[in-house]
């Protein structure tokens, strides 16, 4: 199961989809990916960064989703110093 998690003032919002279903052009999976891509683009415009995460590996900064893979993404908002 692929996912995107958005860290924000409300906590952790997640969107999940089956990469296999996305590749098969399942309507729900395609809709979930479109929403994830929209959210990711909006967050990046606001200065957030996206990271692909896998257990046992270092997080890798990414610029776009790979929806056909079992990729898990965390979007972290820009942190401002005080």
Write phi, then psi, for 10 (nearest 5 degrees). Answer: -90, 0
Write down the pLDDT at residue 74. 95
Q: Which helix (H) or strand (E) holds 62?
A: strand 60-62
Write down the pLDDT at residue 13. 86
Q: Where are the domains of the chain?
A: 2-76
Contact between 37 and 44 under an 8 Å Cβ cutoff? The reply is no
Q: Which residues pair with 60 in a beta bridge?
A: 52
Closest listed residue to residue 6, CA positions, set 82, 81, 72:
72
Write down the pLDDT at residue 27. 97
**What pTM was estimated for this model as a whole?**
0.86
The per-residue pLDDT for range 45-65, each reduced to its tens digit, is 999 999 999 889 999 999 999
Which architecture, in CATH terms, is 2-76?
Roll (3.10)
């Amino acid at each position: 199961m692929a996912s995107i998690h958005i860290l924000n003032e409300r906590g952790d919002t997640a969107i999940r989809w089956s990469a296999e279903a996305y590749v098969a052009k399942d309507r729900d999976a395609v809709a979930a990916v479109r929403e994830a891509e929209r959210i990711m683009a909006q967050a990046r415009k606001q200065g957030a960064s996206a990271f692909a995460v896998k257990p046992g590996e270092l997080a890798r900064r990414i610029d776009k989703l790979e929806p056909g893979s079992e990729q898990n993404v965390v979007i972290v908002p820009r942190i401002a110093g005080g």
